[in-house]
Chains A and B, each alone.
Chain A
């Protein structure tokens, strides 16, 4: 089975950096996804890590440690539009993706 742990809520200031952590225990792990979901909208893909290490994509970076069952999403230069839920999702084979309950991030001025 899958067990995913991430903070339920976080608050950060516009322009700052925030790190959202995720730990997971899973079977059949292939890689880890991060999705963003604005209130009332569908999730949208942010990143996918297969190998250990940091992957950077603009203001967003994602890190994975397979041996520790740990990942984080780093958001830099926070903007108000970054207020959303961020879903950590370890994936197995054949689209067998399990989503965490998500971290609701509030960006304040």
Chain B
């Protein structure tokens, strides 16, 4: 079974631009969560989608948004990028039978200049 995939793996943008990141969960998994990871803050929860609906949301500004498609693939969008948005963005998927265990993708390294 293929793991969680994320594209692109690396991205360089400038302040004010917007970016879209993509995540394909493990086949059969309907829950997709997004996290931001920085050295000082650790893993910060952004949001979680299940069956195309956002079920949970972290404490990030409205510039961070997401969506999930009918095939469970998910996208995350960040508008009006700021220098502080430079981070590793991880997505994780989980299935109903995994007791909440999350399987992480390799992440997208975003650098904002």
Q: Which residues of A line the B interface, CB within 8 A?
A: 30-31, 33, 41-45, 48, 50, 87, 91, 94-102
For the complex, give the distance between the alpha carbons of A25 and B102 in Å.
Answer: 21
Contacts of B99 in A (CB 8 A): 31, 48, 50
9 closest Cβ pairs, A-B complex: A101-B42, A42-B104, A99-B43, A45-B101, A96-B56, A94-B55, A95-B48, A43-B104, A95-B31
Decide if B104 touches A101 in the complex (CB within 8 Å).
no
Mostly, the A contact residues are loop
Shortest Cβ distance from B90 into A: residue? A42
Shortest Cβ distance from A1 into B: residue? B59
Mostly, the B contact residues are strand
Q: Which residues of B line the A interface, CB within 8 A?
A: 31, 33, 35, 41-45, 48, 50, 55-56, 90, 94, 99-107
For the complex, give the distance between the alpha carbons of A88 and B100 in Å.
Answer: 14
CB distance from A47 to the nearest CB of B (A): 9
**28 contacting pairs across A/B (C-beta < 8 A):** A30-B100, A31-B99, A33-B100, A41-B106, A42-B107, A43-B43, A43-B90, A48-B99, A48-B101, A50-B99, A87-B42, A91-B100, A94-B48, A94-B50, A95-B31, A95-B33, A95-B50, A95-B56, A95-B94, A95-B100, A95-B102, A96-B56, A97-B45, A99-B35, A99-B43, A100-B42, A101-B41, A102-B43
For the complex, give the distance between the alpha carbons of A48 and B104 in Å.
Answer: 16
CB distance from B106 to the nearest CB of A (A): 6
Chain B CB within 10 Å, residue with most, of A45, A95, A101, A102: A95
CB distance from A44 to the nearest CB of B (A): 7
Decide if B100 touches A44 in the complex (CB within 8 Å).
no
Decide if B101 touches A33 in the complex (CB within 8 Å).
yes
Decide if A45 touches B45 in the complex (CB within 8 Å).
no
Q: A94-B56, A101-B42 are in contact. Are A45 and B102 (CB under 8 A)?
A: yes
Contacts of A96 in B (CB 8 A): 45, 48, 56
For the complex, give the distance between the alpha carbons of A44 and B103 in Å.
Answer: 7
